[in-house]
């Protein structure tokens, strides 16, 4: 495996770790289906407390899988997977190139 592929894989490991959690997967699915949502709206669909949902959203924000905008007192979260998709595509392309060069 090339150094480039190894580097891309290392960059993706936090994303893979983050996506292992079923609750975070469900939150991402909700945002995909409904668009912008508040913590309260998300808790209506999941058996999680508001602090737990907020914690998961904070982790998703760190990997830039969601965005947040504040409107008055509410924070609206939305799916933002473009950067993650670009990283994953780069990894797959690098693996394919490594396979081709064998």
What was the pLDDT predicted at 102?
85
Whether 20 has a pLDDT exceeding 90, the answer reads: yes
Taking the CA of residue 66 as centre, how many other CA atoms within 13 Å lie in the half-sphere pointing to its CB?
30
pLDDT range class, residue 30, cuts 50, 70, 90: very high
Whether 67 has a pLDDT exceeding 90, the answer reads: yes
Average pLDDT over residues 9-28: 96
Average pLDDT over residues 66-93: 95
Q: Is 35 helix (H, G, I), strand (E, B) or coil?
A: coil
Number of domains in the chain: 1
Q: Collect all residues with Cβ–Cβ distance below 8 Å to 80 and sequence separation of at least 6.
A: 64, 65, 66, 67
CATH of the domain at 43: 1.10.10.10
**Long-range CB contacts (< 8 A, 24+ apart) of 2-6?**
2/94, 2/97, 2/98, 2/101, 4/94, 5/91, 5/94, 5/95, 5/97, 5/98
Whether 34 has a pLDDT exceeding 90, the answer reads: yes
Running DSSP on this structure, what letter comes out for residue 47? Answer: S
Whether 60 has a pLDDT exceeding 90, the answer reads: yes
What was the pLDDT predicted at 91?
97
How buried is residue 88: exposed, middle or buried, by Cβ count under 10 Å (0-12/13-18/19+)?
middle
Range of the domain at 70: 3-100
What was the pLDDT predicted at 24?
98
């Amino acid at each position: 495996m090339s150094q480039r592929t190894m580097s891309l894989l290392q960059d993706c490991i936090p994303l893979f770790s983050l996506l292992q959690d079923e609750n975070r997967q469900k939150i991402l699915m909700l945002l995909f289906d409904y668009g912008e949502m508040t913590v309260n709206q998300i808790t209506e669909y999941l058996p999680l407390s508001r602090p737990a949902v907020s914690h998961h959203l904070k982790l998703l924000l760190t990997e830039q899988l969601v965005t947040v905008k504040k409107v008055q007192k509410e924070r609206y979260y939305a799916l933002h997977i473009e950067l993650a998709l670009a990283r994953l595509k780069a990894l797959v392309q690098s693996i394919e190139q490594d396979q081709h060069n064998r």
